[in-house]
Amino acid sequence: MGFHRDILALDDEDLERFVRDWIARKTSDYVEVQRFSGAGDLGRDVVGFLTDRRHEGPWHNYQCKQYGRTLATSSALLELGKILYHSDRGEFTPPTVYFFVAPRGMGRDLEKLVFNPSAMRTALIERWDSTCAKKIVRGQTIALGGSLLAIINAFDFGQVKRLTVDDILGDEAAAPVLAKWFGSDPGPAPRGIVPVNVDIREQPYLGQLIDAYGERAGSPFQDHLAVRDNPQFGEHLQDQRKRFFEADAFNRFYRDNTLEEDLEALHDDVYHGVNGHYRGNHGDTLGRIDAVMSQAAAVTPGGLLARHARVQVKQGFCHHFANDGKFVWKR
């Protein structure tokens, strides 16, 4: 994917916001994500909490630095020293995992330390006076000893990790964020597949359709199989099921590959584009459904996903609206 330059062009604050959006998508990992910024960040940039205990439980820190070159050892040691110092002060427990988000990568010496955790601990202790002591709190010299040294010795430096642009772009959770930040087009959704047997998710809209066919025929149909075998309505029913599953496949694909608001915006455009026809006067319920389907085909939505919203997808949205209770076909 060609977003290396876009990410490298982000400044520090935008990189933090980008990372916050990214890890917020990792809902299987975190119960909450927060971004800390400014003088009171205490060494935290973007934090993912693994439990509702937040800073009293396990948490991950994403340290975001956008340098014009690779991340240097001195800068990394200072950031580690800062967060462990504030942990010693009782502001929070030490992070269980510490990520350096370094879009341009790490210097060779730092990379060597990351892959040799005990060497990183030794480097932080030995270089404390030159890299950390006078740089953590303005106007103060922080001596290394006592409980602070104990925290450093107890900290698992094996959980200090690096994240590069390639790591970010290779994560499935990044796709929606790339779409938001850089207008990434996730491409077309796969086509819908209509199962032979009715899916349980179809029951709400199908029930309304079956009633509409019975109303038009002058006598009720027992079930969808009776409609399917009817020469007047069978093909019409199959068209509606096809539309439903085209929309279903579309929704599933873009929920995974764009932000939720992109899909919601498209739904909203189609809903308002057909709502006048839905509320209009019609000869019967099936007349209302057909009028809405015709109008859905003509709706021209906007937004990131509009180019991929085929006619059947837009029509299928309307059956999903019926499933969700937004539309009740018989009025």
Is residue 193 included in any domain, yes or no? no
Average pLDDT over residues 286-314: 97
194 assigned to some structural domain: no
Mean pLDDT of the region 112-125: 98
Helical packing angle, 234-257 and 203-217, nearest 10°: 160
Three-state DSSP state, 162: strand
The β-bridge relationship of strands 97-101 and 59-64 is: parallel
Q: pLDDT tens, 261-279?
A: 889 999 999 999 999 999 9
Q: How confident is the model at residue 292 (pLDDT cuts 50, 70, 90)?
A: very high
- Asked if residue 141 and residue 289 are part of one domain, the reply reads no
Rama region for 102: left / alpha / beta (φ>0; ψ in -120 to 50; rest): beta
Q: How far apart are CA 299 and CA 256, in angstroms?
A: 24
Same domain flag for 153 and 234: no
195 inside domain? no
Considering the domain boundaries, does residue 189 fall inside one? no
Question: From CA 22, how far away is CA 17, in angstroms rounded?
Answer: 9
- Shared domain for 168 and 262, answered yes or no, is no
Instruction: Say if residue 142 is in the same domain as residue 224.
Output: no
**160-194, pLDDT tens digit by residue?**
999 999 999 989 888 889 988 998 788 899 999 99
Supply the range of the domain harboring residue 210.
200-324
Domain membership of residue 39 (yes or no) is: yes
Do 50 and 31 form a contact (C-beta atoms < 8 A)? yes
Q: Are residues 157 and 205 in the same domain?
A: no
| Percentage of residues of the chain with pLDDT beyond 70 | 100
Q: Are residues 206 and 300 in the same domain?
A: yes
The lowest-confidence range among 35-39, 109-113, 237-241, 243-247 is 35-39
Residue 331 lies in a domain: no
Q: Looking at the structure, tell me whether residues 167 and 215 fall in a common domain.
A: no
Amino acid at position 224, single letter: H
**Residue at 74 is within a domain:** yes
pLDDT at 306: 95
Phi, psi at 206, each rounded to 5°: -65, -40
Task: Answer whether residue 192 is part of any domain.
Answer: no
Q: Does one domain contain both 210 and 256? A: yes
* pTM of the model as a whole: 0.72
pLDDT of 28 over the 90 cut: no
Which of 17-21, 179-183, 310-314 is the least confident region? 179-183
Section 92-111 average pLDDT: 95
Number of domains in the chain: 2
Q: Mind listing the pLDDT tens digit for each residue in 252-261? A: 999 988 888 8
- Residue finishing a domain among 124, 147, 182: 182
Residues with Cβ within 8 Å of 271's Cβ and at least 6 positions away in sequence, in order, are 317, 321, 326
Residue 233: what residue type?
F
- pLDDT tier, 69 (very low <50, low <70, confident <90, very high otherwise): confident
- Per-residue pLDDT of 31-59, as tens digits, reads 999 999 877 899 999 999 999 999 999 99
How confident is the model at residue 98, as a pLDDT? 98
